[in-house]
Amino acid sequence: MKTMPMLDQFIQRHQLDEDYLTHASEYFSSALLSIVAHQKQANNTFIVGINGCQGSGKSTLADYLGTRLSSEFDLNVAVLSLDDFYYSKKQRNELANQIHPLLRTRGVPGTHDIDLANATLEKLCAGATASDPVLLPRFNKFADNPYPKSQWPIVDRPIDVIVLEGWCLGVQPQLMKDLIYPINKLEATKDKYGIWRSYVNQQLKQNYQGLYQRVDHLLMLKAPSFDSVQAWRLEQENKRQEHLKSEDNTQKETFMSSAEVRNFTAYFQRITEQCLATLPNRCDWVYELDNTRNIINTTQPVLTKEAAIENN
């Protein structure tokens, strides 16, 4: 398959086989063209959301869409991750001391700076310029802290499309009755009284829904079950380590062992399962994955009444 220079760079960035481009073109081109069509009719910046559990490939998909939208359709694109808005270690330690020790670990709703996320989207949608640029936050997962602002990418021109990906993007809070019983060992031993999970759920209800409502078009990479997440997350961790070694990085970085990955993913289980059970019906495009992340089924968007009327 003949590729463009930007797609070649994309393959190199993510250490992918070129087969990825063949499969991605087959499965994602319809959604991409739909995004382009919607954007052309929009009077403002169009926001595309991507939901997917850890290791599902959502960051790769976000970059793929961004690369094709900019290289083939000459659109100005900003790619963001919900992960880039995590609180610093210091801020999470304060939450842990004030509310619950489990909030020391980044990941769940309540550990993101949602005010910063909303402010960033608002600035991008208002239109960045050379005289009034917008900084895109970036989080260093190895250091478990945000990168210094001096290292944040700068946007100095109006953005046509924002691609925002996140593992819990779009998910709705649970009912209080569903929070009563722990669903894994972490909750049973570290959150006996449900304080942590109730706080997380309340944050999801109060602070995250406004951000999610900004999304114009939502895609989902749907894992077969939560059981796949640990294996994918471990693979992701190993890939990061290899990438850092290949770049001869001299920084002291912290990596997770297999046991630490299993413990870390337990923090995400409750909301991941909520996503898998409830989010597909709220998405425009759903890509069902098998255990090796191959797409086995695609659900296309259902036309709303308004869209149906326009098409008639």
Q: Give the separation between CA 227 and CA 213, rounded to whole angstroms.
A: 29
Closest CA to 28 of 61, 60, 53: 61
52 contacts 44 by C-beta, under 8 angstroms: no
Residues 18-22: what's their mean pLDDT?
88
What Cα–Cα distance (Å) separates residue 11 from each residue in 19, 20, 33, 60, 283?
10, 8, 21, 10, 27
| pLDDT, position 222 | 96
Domain boundaries, the chain: 5-293
Least confident of 24-33, 94-103, 182-191, 230-239: 230-239
Residues 15-27: what's their mean pLDDT?
89
Residue 249's pLDDT band (boundaries 50, 70, 90)?
Answer: low
Residue 252's pLDDT band (boundaries 50, 70, 90)?
Answer: low
Residue 5's pLDDT band (boundaries 50, 70, 90)?
Answer: confident
CATH class of 5-293: alpha beta
pLDDT at residue 306 tops 50:
no
pLDDT tens digit sequence for 281-290? 999 999 999 9
| pLDDT, position 247 | 56
pLDDT tens digit sequence for 200-242? 999 999 999 999 999 999 999 999 999 888 888 787 777 666 6
Packing angle between helix 258-266 and helix 227-246, nearest 10 degrees?
130
φ and ψ of 139, to 5 deg: -115, 135
Cα-only R_g, the chain: 19
Q: Give the separation between CA 189 and CA 182, rounded to whole angstroms.
A: 9
Closest CA to 64 of 32, 17, 19: 32
